[in-house]
Amino acid sequence: MTHTADGVERLLAARLIGIVRLDDVELAVSAAASAIEAGLEAVEVTFTLPRAADAIKRLRREHPSALIGAGTVRSRAELDAAADAGVQFLVAPGLNPALLEAAERLGLMMLPGVFTASEIDLALRLGAEILKLFPAEPSGPGHLASMLEPFPSARLVPTGGVSALNAAAYFKAGAAAVAMGSSLFPAQRIVAEGPAVVVPLVEKALAAVQVAD
């Protein structure tokens, strides 16, 4: 891949990616901002949000020290919109070779979604440096560990069902980092109680990933 090694290392050093999946762009930006202020270093804004590119652009401008990524990237149009917004990394739900190659040409790091040995093998052959293992649950840490047996150099980020309660088990199984969505950004609570509800959730998750080996 043509992106800098610094981006890869920064994402891995963060250990935790917070996935913002909200329908309201103002709430999404405010919740992400609260999470960043609570210590979250990497935020993924999913393209299920109609104005995801606007949210990414604002977060990049207002929080330049954070890593801001785009998630659920499934088309070239979404990839280009994310790139134009200044995104620093891309995450896809599946493995799309054409999107991986397009990201490489733009110098952007993409985490393709993988689950099987065949998908991991192909993603590595295509040059992906970090892979999203999705869905992590209900298969659990054991599945991640079994995938690392034939691919010991693969850097897997389990996503889907990961929380502060099971993060340590994933790191023990060999995860390079973890991604959390609703356990950090519970949509209904954010709507009802406001963006600040994410602060204690982020603090708990950060504590969990920092003590995990």
Active-site amino acid positions: 44, 132
Q: Determine the 3-state secondary structure of 112 from DSSP.
A: coil
Phi-psi region of 27 (alpha: psi -120 to 50; beta: other; left: phi over 0): alpha
Q: What letter represents residue 190's amino acid?
A: I
Would the CA dihedral through 185, 194, 54, 8 be positive or negative? negative
Name the DSSP letter for residue 185: S
Q: Decide if 90 contacts 79 (C-beta within 8 A).
A: yes
Q: What letter represents residue 32's amino acid?
A: A
DSSP alpha helices (H): ranges in 71-137? 76-84, 97-106, 117-125
